[in-house]
Structure 1
Amino acid sequence: MKSNSFYPLVGIALFALAAPVLAHSFAIAKIAIGHPWTRETAATQTVGGGFLTIRNTGKTTDRLISASSPFSTEVQIHNMSMDGGVMKMRQLKDGIAIPAGQSVELKPGGLHLMFIGLKKPFKQGAKIPATLKFARAGSVQVTFAVQPVGSTAPMEAGHAGH
């Protein structure tokens, strides 16, 4: 016969296992932000990229208009594209539209955030705090998980290094 304390312990254990996954998603109003991540940087590197998925569950387009972090002097919204075999990166001063009912992915080789003037290197396993500001939804605090240098997509809790 199992003790009455067994079932609460199972619930606590399940929550503890789920917490790392749940803790890496953020939301404000009708905006959901999934799995912000960045790459480890070299000791002399002064910039780093920021990647995440933004979902607008509302009925009105919103816009990511700015970002900031205490770990860099500035955070800019950028787009990277290839033009005739030449990589071109440009700042999107008007931000990024997040259409109603849709998702926008910020990823390597496309839309992304640029942490400029890093105050110290991003180390694998660290968490980089940042604030994202939306035109309608307002500001939300997020945390970027620092992944290995060669990462091309977010690594979920428990799957890093696979």
Structure 2
Amino acid sequence: MIYAAILSACALTLVSPASAHEYKLGDLTIGHPWSRATPPGAKVGGGFLTIENKGSTPDRLVAVSASFAQKAEMHETLTEDGVSKMRPLKDGVEVKPGETVTFEPGGKHLMFIGLAAPLKQGDRAKGELTFEKAGKVDVEFAVEAAGSSPKKQMDGDMKGMDHGSMDHSGMKQGQ
């Protein structure tokens, strides 16, 4: 019995604080907010997470803010005729009851515009999510390696998209 208790305690200490983290707000669970490390001089970064609605009524993510950027927006990447395009999600993102919405590379994602400094691997960057019904929740984005993905292989990676040279409208600078 004592041996089992010691093994359980040891197993708990092996859980890394850098592993997935989550936040709860009413019926919503926000899973593992993360971002990729950015190179020096980068003015934009991306944010990724999941939002699960365990309630019986829909809610909507209506705003995002980040202490490390001038502004934060919700975007979606679409591919039309082989060309990837980003568009802002001005009306936010609905999270229906019993569903999980995923913000990931190549799909819905957060854009951090006007970075105050590069995002460095291993850091935690403070942000805030605002929901229409549930209200506001403070989160920390775990900064992971540049090019990292929440899955071993992700078919919808943002390869070929140059976020570093796009302004907030999604247009390449200088166009």
Same fold (TM over 0.5): yes
TM-score, structure 2 length as denominator? 0.78
1:65 counterpart SS class = strand
2:106 counterpart SS class = coil
Q: Is residue 2:74 matched to residue 1:77?
A: yes
| Aligned match of 2:123 | 126
Paired amino acid for 2:58: T
Q: Please list every run of 5 or more consecutive structure 1 residues that lacks an aligned counterpart in the other structure.
A: 156-162
**Paired residues for 1:10-29 under 5 Å:** 13-18=10-15, 20=17, 24-29=21-26
- When residues 16 and 23 of structure 1 are mapped into structure 2, their CA distance, relative to the original with a 3 A threshold, is farther
| Aligned match of 1:102 | 99
CA distance in 1 between counterparts of 2:19 and 2:35 reads 18
CA distance in 2 between counterparts of 1:38 and 1:127 reads 9
| Aligned match of 1:47 | 44
Q: Please list every run of 5 or more consecutive structure 2 residues that lacks an aligned counterpart in the other structure.
A: 153-175
CA distance in 2 between counterparts of 1:38 and 1:58 reads 27
2:17 counterpart SS class = helix
Q: C-alpha displacement at 1:17, in angstroms?
A: 3.3
Q: C-alpha displacement at 1:20, in angstroms?
A: 2.2
What is the aligned counterpart of 2:111 among 114, 126, 129?
Answer: 114
- Contact 1:74/1:116 (CA < 8 Å) preserved in 2? yes
Q: C-alpha displacement at 1:13, in angstroms?
A: 4.6
- When residues 57 and 144 of structure 1 are mapped into structure 2, their CA distance, relative to the original with a 3 A threshold, is same
